[in-house]
Amino acid sequence: MVDRTQTPPITRVLVANRGEIAVRIIRSLKRLGVETVLAVSSADRDSRGARMADKVVCVGPGRATESYLKIDTLVHAAQATGAQAIHPGYGFLSERAEFARACEEHDVIFIGPTAEQIEQVGNKLEARRIAGEANVPITPGGPVETLDEALAVADDIGYPVLIKAVGGGGGRGLKRADTRESLIQQFDMASAEALSAFGDGRVYVECFVTQGRHVEVQVLGDGKDVLHLGDRDCSVQRRYQKLIEEAPAPHLSDALRKGLHQAAVRFARHIGYRGAGTIEFLVDVPREQFYFLEMNARIQVEHPVTEEVTGVDLIEAQYRIAQGEPLPWSQNDIQVHGHAIECRINAEDCDHDFRPSPGRVTQAYFPSHDGLRIDTHIEAGAMIPPFYDSMVAKVIAVGQDREQARLRLRMALDELVLEGVKTNIALHKAILETPEFTQGGVDTGFLGRYLAEKPSLQNEARREQT
């Protein structure tokens, strides 16, 4: 590992991302007195982030494959603009080991973990092996190369099972099989999808916990020490894509919560982790058991809820670690106060299979109240291009307890205005009012069950307006 304590201070950073996370990164770096260069595609030349940055450099056309995913172009942009470091944000190249390696080879600091660590946790089989070595529980199952091997593993551990891509996550290459017949039908599709998404068609089969919760632990490491910043619950998901997140995870026993925290730290320490990372677990609450799912070696979309309950600016922490500074806290210094809940606002049509809804935002109003945080790049007149993820804002509410946070979030969604495109705001309002969510501790199947029973969200939105 490069000794960063001997490098000059980072005074200029290239932000290799877009949208709300680019705005979020620029704000923290400006507060630290660091100059920012924003890499933009031609579709983002007029974005809010472009106006906020000290300098803007266009790295290609609108399609991500021709701009935000061009490693050589981004590294050259950093060098040409005098940026000593690159912040990759999330998505795009943030978990690509070849990007981190290219930065290192060209004397540009990658604000994140080492290329080797990205490779270790990016390969799901290698991550499972590391978890085993670190005494972190893993779900029963294992790698398979053929359908016959997959059937044998499934027969051994029992149905239902998940077929998962070795080379990535985010729901791609992921299929559930409840029976042998279903596994036979899904196996080739999962492998083909994994190959298309990650260039790696390998899969593994693991046990599926029917009433599991998705709980993750935020960690920070400086290459020598690791500490955690508590946990988040991300169980409100649609097709393995998170929609609502909160911190701390509700209704966990003290022993179970402590076990999750300790397991996350053990995993990260085992690889000498550097930077911000998240260890994700599948939690079987009634049985007081949890299993390692994966590690995300980057900042997470849902990081604001952790920031709001701990008071730690995770972007600043990433920057300081990249400079070679040691962690400034002990574990006892990290305290969780209150509760935070985040809704992801997406430009999509919930009544037509959540298809993206790009276009021009004709009106935009984001409320401002105590206990409310809005992370967005959207304003009236902004164009939502068709090339990227549909998320346009995150609404985060904070309270002394979970119910206060929930009520503040519901009120904020009532006041929020985004017109010109379709959004999932009505869906969020409906979820927040369900008895299951109000009580807290829903499992990952909650949203699927709700959507199967719901009336049209368009009708619900119309009723609210009358």
Q: What are phi and psi of 170, to 5 degrees?
A: 70, 20
Rounded to the nearest 10°, the torsion over CA 142, 296, 304, 430 is: -40
- The span from the CA of 276 to the CA of 313, in Å, is 11
The identity of residue 360, as a single letter, is R
**Active-site residue (options: 128, 298, 320, 408):** 298
The identity of residue 266, as a single letter, is R
Neighbouring CB atoms inside 10 A of 23's CB total 23
| 298 catalytic per annotation | yes
Neighbouring CB atoms inside 10 A of 172's CB total 16
Tally the residues of the chain: 466
Query: Tokens at residue 7, please?
Result: 């490098």
Catalytic site positions: 298
